[in-house]
Amino acid sequence: MKTSLQLKMSQQLTMTPQLQQAIRLLQLSTLDLQQEIQEALETNPMLEVREDDAGDGEHSHHNDNLNGESHSSDSLNGDASKHETSTNDDSDHRQEVEIQEHIPDDLAVDSSWDDIYTHTPTSHGLPSGDDDFNFENVYGTTDSLWDHLNWQLNLTTMTDRDRLIAEAIIESVDSEGYLQSSLDDIFEGLIEALSGDDDPLEMDEVEAVLRRVQHFDPPGVCARDLADCLSIQLNQLPEETLWRSDAIKIVKEHLDLLGTRDYAQLMRKTRLKENDLRDVILLIQSLNPRPGNQIESGKDEYVVPDVIVRKDVKNNRWLVELNPEIAPKLRVNPSYASMVKRADNSSDNTYLKDHLQEARWFIKSLQSRNETLLKVATNIVEHQRGFLEHGEEAMKPLVLHDVAQAVEMHESTISRVTTQKYMHTPRGIFELKYFFSSHVSTEGGGECSSTAIRAIIRKLVAAENPRKPLSDSKIATLLGDQGIQVARRTIAKYREAMHIPPSNERKSLI
């Protein structure tokens, strides 16, 4: 085997740490971004939060166009899409020593290299300065249904034997409040636990304890089935409640007829008139078929909009701006930056140089994220003016490719920008992905978005006669009359996605 020396030239794409950071910041949600900024402030002495109020009251409004001016990379103003240079005195600028590293004006965050770099954001929030007294931390609750039931059990006077039975019953309750195990299984398990007692356990004891536990809050808990759950709630109502006895009879004997909405058969079985049956059904519908859901565990999650859209009535145009509250304003600390010596290679000076470069790249990455987010949001608003003016029925078809082509970026970049980013509009807060939908052709040669079709279906169902609800075929016919050709199976798919039951389940006397 002969040894030889060969010279080869090749080209390959590599992602620098700075580009990785820019892409990672681009796809972070608001809470994740706040956590990232907090970590950067804690680890990099060169970064600090701007305390000046020079630009706090100003918001740079953008409509249709994105200002492409270059900005200083040493500061980032968190105001809505407005990036200002540092307001320090000229003496502070003269003290800073420039590092010989080129930071481009337009940082490239556009990339289709999803297979090279992936990131799964974690849900963290920026801790606030008043965490020592937080209303939700003090008065909120994270108790589960089982904690809630055991807390009531501890306040109930019982013998040790009955308490053991009650604990076994509570352990078999699922998250909706129903018993997962049959009473026979609970009884057999308790026999083994009480095998050492001289007095053998009887089923009557288990049933008696079950009836006591079923009086716990929430009403209807520890039920064996739906009929049992509704009966427990009805029995806990005052005896003088109108139609209580008739409701109990229907729940215990004719729940299947009520489920199939066979009102004619119900009236024959119960000998109730139509108006009376309507009142009984209203009473039953006021009950909770899933009592365990009343006890929610965990903390509430809040959505902080990244983009704010409002209408300038005077000029009749829509203004798009970044939310100034999503991130603090950052800058390079001028005092620490002035300590960097150009020709000094000591460890201390190298430490300061490295952190100064990291701080400038981080600020530039944040600025690029804001500019990209604003550019994409502005383009979305351009496409969906009809939605902002008239609602969902005026939503136009829009796909990632349309926005990517308009802003001259890759579709994967648009996907990153629109994930877990929210827009506040006069019609509510929506995720940016909400404004994207497929299209259906109309008879006039135009296009109608799937979101608009869903809105029309919802409107038709809301206006239908509850005695004769619209079938999927009838809805398809009504859409066809409006020039929108949609198949019946597509109507069914959209209806199920909106959690609208089929026509036979929507039938009602009310």
Element spanning 276, H or E: helix 274-285
348 phi, psi to nearest 5 deg: -65, -45
Assess contact for 31 and 123: CB atoms under 8 A: yes
Query: Sign of torsion, CA 258 264 267 268?
Result: negative
Better-predicted residue by pLDDT, 214 or 144: 214
The residues near 432 (Cβ < 8 Å, ≥ 6 apart) are 307, 376, 377, 380, 417, 418, 419, 421, 422, 423
Quickly state the pLDDT bin for 69 (edges 50, 70, 90): very low
DSSP 20-71: HHHHHHHH--HHHHHHHHHHHHHH-TTEEE----TTTT----BSS-------
Backbone angles phi, psi at 160, to 5 degrees: -60, -35
Q: Using one digit for the tens of pLDDT, what is the confidence trace for 303-361?
A: 889 999 999 888 889 999 999 888 888 889 888 888 887 767 788 888 888 889 898 98
- For the entire predicted model, the pTM comes to 0.62
Q: Let me know the angle formed at the C-alpha of 504 by 500 and 509, rounded to the nearest 5 degrees.
A: 95
Query: How much is the pLDDT for 142?
Result: 53
Which residues face 312 on adjacent strands?
317
- Model confidence pLDDT, tens digit, residues 76-86: 544 444 433 33
Structure confidence by residue, pLDDT tens digits, 99-117:
445 666 666 666 554 444 4
How far is Cα 431 from Cα 410, in angstroms, rounded to an integer? 20
DSSP E strands in 393-432: the ranges are 422-425, 428-431
- Residue found under tokens 């008043």: 130
Given this model, what pLDDT does residue 7 score?
84
Q: 255 and 247 in contact (C-beta within 8 Å)?
A: no
Structural domains in the chain? 15-90+102-107+306-436 (no CATH), 145-294 (no CATH), 440-506 (1.10.10.60)
pLDDT of 236-295, one tens digit each?
Answer: 999 899 999 999 999 999 999 998 888 889 999 999 999 999 999 999 999 999 999 888
Average pLDDT of the segment spanning 189-210 = 84
Q: Are 283 and 247 in contact (CB under 8 A)?
A: yes
Which residues have CB under 8 Å from 397's CB, separation 6+? 437, 438, 439, 447, 448, 449, 450
User: Using one digit for the tens of pLDDT, what is the confidence trace for 371-383?
Assistant: 999 999 999 999 9
Q: Is 70 exceeded by the pLDDT of residue 133?
A: no
Answer whether residue 200 shows pLDDT above 70.
yes
Rounded Cα gap, residues 476 and 462, in angstroms: 16
Give the model's pLDDT for residue 335: 87
- Please state, in angstroms and rounded to a whole number, the distance separating the CA atoms of residues 250 and 276: 13
**Across 62-89, average pLDDT:** 43
**Across the strands, what pairs with 331?**
48, 75
Q: What is the DSSP letter of 203?
A: H
Tell me: the pLDDT tens digits for 406-450?
988 888 888 888 888 999 999 999 999 999 987 776 766 677 888
- Mean pLDDT, residues 32-36 taken together: 88
d(CA 81, CA 367): 9
Lowest mean pLDDT among 90-94, 148-152, 164-168: 90-94
Residue 212's pLDDT band (boundaries 50, 70, 90)?
very high
